[in-house]
Every structure is written in structure tokens, then in C-alpha cells.
Homo-oligomer: A and B are copies of this chain.
Amino acid sequence: MENFIAYNPTKLHFGKNVVRRLGKAVSEYGDKVLLIYGQGSIKRNGIYDTVMQQLVGIGAEVTEFSGIRPNPVIEDVDAAARLGRDKGVDVIVAVGGGSVCDSAKVISVTIPVTHSGWDFYAGTAKPRKAVPLITVLTLAATGSEMNSFAVVQNNRTRQKLGWGHELLHPRQSFLDPQYTFTVPRDYTAYGIADLIAHCLEAFFGEGDAPLSDKFVYAIIHEAVENGKPLLENPRDYELRARIMYAATEALNTMTFNGRRSGDWGVHDIGHVLSLLYDIPHGASLSLVYPAWFKFYKNKIPARIAELGRHVFGVDGPEQTIDAFESFFKSIECPVRLSELGIGKDKKEEIIEVMALNEVSGEHHRIPPEAYPELVELFL
């Protein structure tokens, strides 16, 4: 086991109608609220009204910033930060999925400064303080609600990068599985692919961390057990709850404890595909992971087989890869780019932008000269 620091101060409120406690939570930090959300689905499903009722109930002065895109961009982050700065907000309430939470995190550390939030990604600035952030989650996928990471896209530089900092932890997060009842079938499945990918990025990191491995098996097993039943019963509270909680645990860093690093190569490739073709994040992962497994099959057969044995009860690396591919197909997630109508003619473009984003992974490296071989496996 490698040395590690385990630190996760986010207070998570999980369950039916927990948003009833939102107003009280917000009032711990002040009454000038920056409310951030996406493209308006929360107005259609009633979540906006519930949240506003809580904020009105504490007499909050609410400034809204909406329109955060599924693959969030830095322009929105900077615009929201300017607004929050101008209004002198005390607290941010973010209502949405991973893109809204991630954007809100970067907004929370950009409000106190005068430069672009992208400077944190470029490494030319470090955050010193954050406006307290509370999230209300509406999509089970990224785990952003209980970690200190945020992914943002910069269309100008053609980069989509992840960044982590202790200050990015939400202070509190509210997770009501009922809020995910109306998530469409495809995004429900992509969320499951995302949470499984997070577990895999930990599992294939560097360093022996046997208990963290066992947590990985537990969480992937939970996802596999409930994934297909949930697609068939999208308004089943227990199934929604089990997937939502699994997604949180999949990336609250517990699965990384005792490792020197994770291995984010697949995520990095996924980001490139999202950047180029606006592919939903989870879908980009279900299609790259099987290819990555095949690429690494002969290099780390024992590790891949160990995973399959514990999650699917199968024996051998081939069988493990088949099991993951079959599972992704069973929940209607793509495992080839062609399924999304993107042809083999894009190969060079993908390789070019992978190089621009310096895709490599951390432990099991993907050298640039191997890009063509790996890309070919998911075209």
C-alpha cells in the first residue's frame, strides 16, 4: 500500500425528500444565492420549483445562471463567476448533473479572483478560497457531488481537462433518487457506464491496494446487478437509489486509497471524443473501455482476469472483456464509434486531438505511436 490522504468533508444528504432540508443548509452560509442549472429540464420536472420554495423560505436573494451544457465550457464558467462576483453572492446552489456540479465548482473558486477559471487548468493560477457550494443532484453518474474534481472544456484550445483541488469539495450535497426518475433511458445507461469507468480507472492505477480493489468489485457488482433492471423499471425507487449511491461511491476517492495513482487514459480519450463529436461522457467511456482492455490484454492478463473473476465470476482476460462488452451492450451503451454514425474516416482527426490533449494515462501508458492501434479498436 502506498501512503495516502483520505479527506472528504462533503456532507451528503441521501434519500426521499431530503431537499426539504436545503433551505436550512443554505442559510448556514448566507442569503445571497447564485443558482446554477442546465438547460431547463428542472423547470419541466418540478425540481426548480421545489428548490426555489426552499430558497424563498429562507428569504434568500437569488441570482440565476442557467444554460450549462452537457459538456460544459469555460465561457459559461467565467460568465457565471462574473455574475456571482458582481452580486457578491454568499453561496452557490447547483442543481443538475455532473456538468452543472463541475461548472459550479470552478465558478466557486473563480468568483474570488479576476482571471478566467481556465487559468487553474492551465496551471498559471492556484485557488485560495471558494464560495461555499451546495449541490442538488439530478443525474447519477459522475460522482462530482462528493469529490474535488471538475472537468471543463475549452473550445478555443480544443482541450477538455480534468482538475482537482481540496477547495472544490461541495460543502453539502442533496441526493434524492426520485429526482432521477425522469432521466431518459440513454442517459441513465451512460451514467452507469461512467460509474463503472471510474472504478476501473482506480483499479488499473499504480500500486497494490487490496481493500480498495475489493471496494471496486463491490461497486461495479452493484452497477451490473442493477443496471438492466433499472432500464426496465425507470421509476423504481430502490433501483434508482442503488445506482445513485453507487455512482457517488465510485468517485469519492475511496477506491483510490493506497494507490500511487489512478489511470485516466480512457477518460482522456473519452474527453477527446466528446470534444470532437459532442458524445455524452458516459457513452464515450463504454466505447473506449473494451478497446483499452483489448489493447492491454496481453500486457496485463492477470489483472484483467482478476477483475472479471470478482465482478462477473468468469475466468480469464478474454472472458472478462466479453463480459464487460456484453454488459454495456445489454444496457444499450455503444462499444464502437460507428454505432453513433461516426465513420472510420475520423481516425486521423481523433489521433490529432488525442496528441493535442497529450492523452497518455498515468500507469499503463498509451504512447502516441500506439494511438492508431488503440483507436482502430473502437472505430
Query: Which A residues lie at the B interface, using CB under 8 A?
Result: 1-16, 18, 146, 208, 210-211, 214-215, 217-219, 221-222, 225, 238, 241-242, 245-246, 249, 254, 257-258
Contacts and interface: CB of A to CB of B under 8 A. Distances in A.
A65 B307 CA distance: 49
A177 B18 CA distance: 39
A11 to B, nearest CB: 4
A211 B7 contact: no
A338 to B, nearest CB: 35
Nearest to A241: B1
B3 A12 contact: no
Stoichiometry (number of copies): 2
Contact of A12 (B7, B242, B246): B7
Q: Which of A5, A6, A18 counts the most B-chain CB atoms under 10 A from its CB?
A: A6
Contacts of A14: 1, 3-6, 257-258
Contacts of A249: 211
A8 B7 CA distance: 8
Given A7-B10, A9-B9, 13 more contacts: A2-B15, A3-B14, A4-B14, A5-B13, A7-B11, A8-B8, A8-B9, A14-B257, A210-B222, A210-B225, A211-B245, A215-B215, A245-B257
7 cross-chain pairs, A with B, having the tightest CB-CB distances, nearest first: A3-B15, A214-B218, A9-B9, A6-B12, A7-B11, A1-B241, A211-B222
25 contacts: A1-B14, A1-B242, A2-B15, A3-B16, A4-B14, A4-B15, A5-B12, A5-B14, A6-B12, A6-B146, A7-B10, A8-B9, A14-B257, A14-B258, A208-B238, A210-B222, A211-B242, A211-B249, A214-B217, A214-B219, A214-B221, A214-B222, A215-B215, A245-B257, A245-B258
A261 to B, nearest CB: 15
A229 to B, nearest CB: 12
Nearest to A217: B218
A70 to B, nearest CB: 27
